Structure 1
Amino acid sequence: MSDLDPVARTARLTAALRARESERPDRLFTDVLAGTLAGQAARALAEQLGEVPAIAVRTRFFDDLLTEIANAEGGPRQFVLLAAGMDTRAQRLPFPAATTLYEVDRPELLRLKDALLAGVPEPACRRVAVSADLAGDWPRSLVQAGFRADLPTCWLVEGLTQYLQEANVIRLFDRITACSAPGSHLLAEFVAASLFRDPAARPMLDALAEQGAAWHYGTDEPQPLFAERGWQVQSVPYAEVGQAMGRWPQNGVTAGGHLAHATR
């Protein structure tokens, strides 16, 4: 995984965790491409980590929402995955053919992904890779790729906010809102602020920092981020969703937080 920077390498680790979930007899989803996108190094690291229930839970939670939104009558026909990483939803989910799915991430990561997917059949929807640094002017890159801010959009912010400073999280949500026409959806995930104060979580957080992929942001109340920008939001704790799926342990360190679905 040395071809990517530490934060980008987490995309391959996440793919490895999806691959492992896909091998379970009681799997929450099936991702046949995840192993290829992960590679052997990431898969070995995933085995060392043991159970990471949050990845399987959030993947299934957002799979279900994206499928529902994409197939709703009059729903958005453009979707944007920010920090898309090694996401495979363009291939996995039943998006209508008229849907355009924009995957925004760093150019080196998208190049690697395209190389790994060489020979894989094109998805039914239109997948557009958008090379951009989310710390830069990514809305301009998105527009240049064909995105239209005057049309409803469904955004997905998954596995991203914890790596940002609070000011950059606020800036991200300001930019998303500025690009969102009425009828848009915003799906987002947040780790809990309380996790940073939990002594049991300290080894995990220290290990991430040592690898150059430190977590900076968490919140126990994500609702104001949406309400202050005119979004109507429903937020549910990870634990509640995970327990309903049979994936949330009663003991041990878990990346608790919230999963949110907002509309405007």
Structure 2
Amino acid sequence: MDHPVETTALLVAAMRAEESIRSDRLFEDPFAHDLAGEAGRAALRDYRAASGASIPIIEVRTRYYDEALLRAQDAGITQFVILAAGMDARAYRLPFRSHARLFELDQRAMIEAKARGLSAAEPRCERHALAVNLADDWPAVLLAAGFDPNAPTAWLAEGLLQYLEASVVHGLFERIGRLSARGSVLLYDVVGEALLSVMRESVLRYMRELGAPWIFATDDPASLAAAHGFQTEITDASVIGNAWGRWPFPATPPHVQGVPRGYLVEARKG
């Protein structure tokens, strides 16, 4: 696969595969190695060469959202939607209840590639893989597949927003808001403006050349969901990374301005 979106998904899978074999791993994804393939491992080598360092943001956010999805399930939610699911294998590796329904939305090539990588595996819940571009009318596709807008839903938009224009981001949240019943949970991550501005030019250039530039950032991540009736809880990735003993530098207090930050958001409607 040589589409930029597909390559970034393989890159993330390769990172998850590496994490899964660490003695101090934050999670275990037994499917990530096969899903990444040689293309994903090559992309990871190129990314590491460009970055010159390794900050475990992918690893930290993966565990954070693993736990958040299971908290939603413990609260009684049985309907889940993963937007731009990529090589996400949570339907296969998390202890979802068998009657839970999980909808994965992504482009057709991605859906088909993941199907090949998981051909020998069985999901642990009722999984629906929907081929659709998020720029198109994906709510109609979701509803046609049996999504119930009257049931509380746990939404996940992981590693997605930084690739979108601001207008597309706001349109995405507006659609989610319309489809979310009271009690729904919305999980997403946002790049802070200072983080985007201080990223190594070699990394930004690598992403641009890949065709997947980072273009969206904000230091007001709560407003994205709050505008649609959600109450938000914001976590600085460096804070939880330090709590788990895996962040390479100390967390900076939230009142300090101009600090590079990545935000992890857990929002609830009603």
- Give the CA deviation at 1:247: 1.8
C-alpha RMSD over aligned residues:
1.6
Unaligned runs of 5+ residues in structure 1 are none
SS at match of 1:104: strand
Counterpart of 1:203 in structure 2 is 202
Q: List aligned pairs for 1:55-134, cutoff 5 A.
A: 55-72=58-75, 75-120=76-121, 122-134=122-134
Q: Output the amino acid matched with 1:114.
A: A
Counterpart of 1:16 in structure 2 is 14
Moved more, 179-188 or 202-211: 202-211
CA distance in 2 between partners of 1:114 and 1:130 (Å):
12
- Give the CA deviation at 1:229: 1.4
Counterpart of 1:229 in structure 2 is 228
Structure 1 residues 75-129: Cα deviation after superposition (integer angstroms, max 9, x where no partner): 2111000000000101111111110000000011001110111122x12210110
Structure 1 residues 46-94: Cα deviation after superposition (integer angstroms, max 9, x where no partner): 244162400000000001111121133xx21110000000001011111
Task: State the TM-score, normalizing by the size of structure 1.
Answer: 0.93
1:259 lines up with 2:264 in the alignment: yes
SS at match of 2:200: helix
CA distance in 1 between partners of 2:221 and 2:30 (Å):
33
SS at match of 1:26: coil
Counterpart of 2:163 in structure 1 is 163
SS at match of 2:104: strand
After the TM superposition, list the runs of 4 or more consecutive aligned residues in structure 1 that deviate by more than 4 angstroms. none
Kept in 2: contact 1:185–1:263 (CA 8 A): yes
Q: Output the amino acid matched with 1:46.
A: L
CA distance in 2 between partners of 1:256 and 1:211 (Å):
24
Counterpart of 1:173 in structure 2 is 173
Kept in 2: contact 1:239–1:248 (CA 8 A): yes
Task: State the TM-score, normalizing by the size of structure 2.
Answer: 0.91
CA distance in 2 between partners of 1:182 and 1:168 (Å):
24
Distance 1:220 1:82, change over 3 A: same
Percent of residue pairs bearing the same amino acid type: 44
Structure 1 residues 108-157: Cα deviation after superposition (integer angstroms, max 9, x where no partner): 1001110111122x122101101110011000011111111111100001
In the alignment of these two chains, the number of paired residues is: 256
Counterpart of 1:38 in structure 2 is 36
CA distance in 1 between partners of 2:17 and 2:152 (Å):
32
CA distance in 2 between partners of 1:79 and 1:7 (Å):
22
Kept in 2: contact 1:31–1:92 (CA 8 A): yes
CA distance in 1 between partners of 2:24 and 2:159 (Å):
24
- Give the CA deviation at 1:207: 1.4
Unaligned runs of 5+ residues in structure 2 are 251-258
CA distance in 2 between partners of 1:220 and 1:246 (Å):
25
